[in-house]
Chains A and B, each alone.
Chain A
Amino acid sequence: MALLILLPSACTGAPEGRRIITLNGAGATFPLPIYTEWIHLYSQQNPSVIINYQGIGSGGGQKAILDGTVDFAGSDSPLNEEHYRRMPDLQMLPMVAGAIVLAYNLEGVDSLVLDGPTAARIFMAEITRWNDSAIARLNPDAHLPDAPITVVHRSDGSGTTEIFTSYLAAVYPEWEEKVGVGKAVEWPVDKAGSGIGGKGNPGVAHAIQITPNSIGYLELSQALENDIPFADLINAAGKRVRANAETMQAAMAAMAGAFDERFTARIVNAPGENSWPIMGYTYLILHMEPEDCAKAKALADFIRWAITDEAAARKAAEMGYATLPPEVGERVLEKLAEIRCR
């Protein structure tokens, strides 16, 4: 314990100038694949900046930055006013957006179509078997088994859950009052005995893979990465859409003006013929008035690179993420310029 007295808080640093910069972040698993790629690429060009990002869930990221244990956090879900009261200089910056898809494990079913209300009813345990008429009606050609549906959801606090539940609330009025929107909810399928919790997006993907006749919500990049089939959806315009770069960009473009004063936006159930209905931004949370100038500069530089560099953007698109529309990217750069270190 004596050592604790000798080691001053990591917040005070060596004088500016040459230093090793170590940046530690934690949070959402949604962007984990692209963040680790970006860190890898960036480190090659900037070897004296050591960036570490751990995927512990949006809730974990929020807790970590509020407890002061990390330099930046990743979160799919916005901070609320209570959080801003606790730490007023936090700022959310959208980094990329992703699509959430309904991945499933059904032998012999290569393609599945669902709509909002049907999806909601599945997650509410109102539809409990795969050959239910509601699903069959949308999928007349599919061989739906007469089997119970196992529903996979997140077991940890998750921005992905928040985005998904906000979609369900937008398309099925009963969802809001019976279950609600949030990072973690009490799932009706759990009470019914047909729910499984997976930790992080990877945990949900894993659970779907090993559980026959299951369905769960998952970010597109994870589903693609692991070759897990996912359903097409009927969007707000009544059109059947597949989740891909086009439909994602269409949704984001349709909602480009939807940001609030905290720089967060909901992009679920976007209007437009070609829009993918379940999208969400993932944000980086950082301090606008940081104590460690060198670290803050390095972090800002990294973010700037991630948003503007071509190779970075290409990687993101390859992996199934939607990069920011130009106006949004501009605003992020403006925000970065406003960082004032103490």
Chain B
Amino acid sequence: MGGVRFEHRYTYRKAVNIIMLSTTGLLTLLALIPLFWVTGYVIVKGGRYLDLDFFTRLPAPLGQPGGGVLHAIEGSILIVALATLFSAPAGVLIGYYAARHPNTPLGMGVRFATDVLSGVPSIVVGLFVYGVVVVRLHTFSVLAGGVALAIIMLPTVIRSTEEMVKLVPPSLREAALALGAPEWRTAISVVLPAALEGIVTGVILGVARAAGETAPLLFTTLGNDNFEVIRLAKLAIGVGASPWEIARLILTQPVDALPLTLWKYSQQPYPERVNQAWAIALVLMMLVLGLNLMARVWLAYRRRR
């Protein structure tokens, strides 16, 4: 009697087991459907409108066919490079400090601030940079965009550095100190290099994120259909500008960036622009996913050595 009930109960439990476990597999598949759908669509629709002109020309006047997104490509490269320049060295050092002095008020403050900043919506960062940079400089600019993206990258860089430095065995550091190296030398030549792969991964992931951000650029870079670095530089050299002045000229121009241009074009009723939006989506996805993949692969490769 009890034995039969036990049999039924057991069969029931086994059935539940199979059903639930397979459900998790199905759910995983379900979640991956949008990924394949987006990627597939972007590749098919975007790929159709990808041509040489797309990468090498400035936009045609509104409504005319042709033209490209060279302005956005150059803009993206500039602001992401600037953002990395601002955030990577500083972020690494700040992360190092937080790892070495975790229990000081400043160390805990840094960790808390990193958490706060990583949660701040990027549009709010854009608002901030508008008030602090754009209004002060009286212009939308590459610089403002770079600062905004740097602020967004900082928490990623700080956090990875902190985690990686914590993982470096203390014996390594102590050995260096025992050999007479000063603290700063130990940090730069021993600890940081040991944590390097994780840090670089963190930076690359930060760059991948920054490259895809639009919201912070809305109020900081405005957009510029006429922006082409080489032409600007040539014109500047033609009037005898120094390298410093050329850099200043370029940094203070409003600029487009791939995600920003994508967004603008997606809102327009001109089919050429919408098509170009898909093409930009393809380029952007390749860029961002490529960077992500690169980071992981590089990390795996380094770890294996």
Give residues in A with beta carbon < 8 Å to B.
3-4, 7, 9-11, 14, 18-20, 22, 24, 26, 32-33, 36-37, 39-40, 43, 47-48, 50-54, 56, 67-70, 199-200, 202-203, 205-206, 209, 222, 225-226, 319
Contact between B134 and A69, CB atoms less than 8 A apart: yes
Check if B235 is an interface residue, CB within 8 A of chain A.
yes
Contact between B62 and A203, CB atoms less than 8 A apart: no
Check if B143 is an interface residue, CB within 8 A of chain A.
yes
Q: In angstroms, how far is the closest chain B Cβ from the Cβ of A219? A: 12
Residues of A within 8 A of B240 (CB): 18
Interface-located stretch among B20-28, B152-160, B171-179, B246-254: B246-254
Residues of A within 8 A of B223 (CB): 52, 54
Q: A7-B252, A54-B254 are in contact. Are A19 and B61 (CB under 8 A)?
A: no
15 further contact pairs, Cβ within 8 A, besides A10-B139, A14-B245: A7-B252, A20-B241, A22-B249, A24-B224, A36-B225, A47-B235, A48-B239, A50-B226, A52-B254, A54-B225, A56-B222, A67-B135, A70-B140, A199-B267, A225-B63
Contact between A4 and B224, CB atoms less than 8 A apart: no
Q: Total A-B residue pairs with C-beta atoms closer than 8 Å?
A: 109
Contact between A52 and B225, CB atoms less than 8 A apart: yes
Q: State the CA gap A225–B268 with chains docked (Å).
A: 12
CB-contacts of B208-229 with A (<8 A): 222-227
Contact between A205 and B252, CB atoms less than 8 A apart: no
Q: In angstroms, how far is the closest chain B Cβ from the Cβ of A122? A: 22
Residues of A within 8 A of B60 (CB): 40
User: Quick one: which of B140, B227, B239, B268 contacts A19, CB cutoff 8 A?
Assistant: B239
User: Quick one: which of B140, B222, B226, B269 contacts A226, CB cutoff 8 A?
Assistant: B269
Q: State the CA gap A24–B255 with chains docked (Å).
A: 11
> Can you list the 10 inter-chain pairs with the closest CB atoms, starting with the nearest?
A205-B269, A202-B268, A36-B61, A18-B239, A206-B269, A33-B62, A52-B224, A37-B61, A40-B61, A54-B223
* 7 pairs from A and B in contact (CB 8 Å cutoff): A24-B254, A37-B61, A52-B227, A67-B135, A69-B135, A69-B140, A202-B268
Which residue on B lies nearest to A32, using beta carbons?
B62
Give residues in B with beta carbon < 8 Å to A.
60-63, 133-140, 143, 222-227, 232, 235-236, 238-241, 245, 248-249, 251-254, 267-270
Q: State the CA gap A22–B255 with chains docked (Å).
A: 12
Q: A24-B222, A33-B63, A37-B61 are in contact. Are A225 and B253 (CB under 8 A)?
A: no
Q: A4-B133, A14-B245, A54-B223 are in contact. Are A200 and B61 (CB under 8 A)?
A: no
Contact between A20 and B63, CB atoms less than 8 A apart: no
Q: State the CA gap A190–B136 with chains docked (Å).
A: 38
Residues of A within 8 A of B225 (CB): 36, 39, 52-54
Q: In angstroms, how far is the closest chain A Cβ from the Cβ of B86? A: 9
Residues of B within 8 A of A205 (CB): 269
Residues of A within 8 A of B251 (CB): 7
Q: State the CA gap A56–B222 with chains docked (Å).
A: 9
Residues of B within 8 A of A7 (CB): 137, 143, 248, 251-252
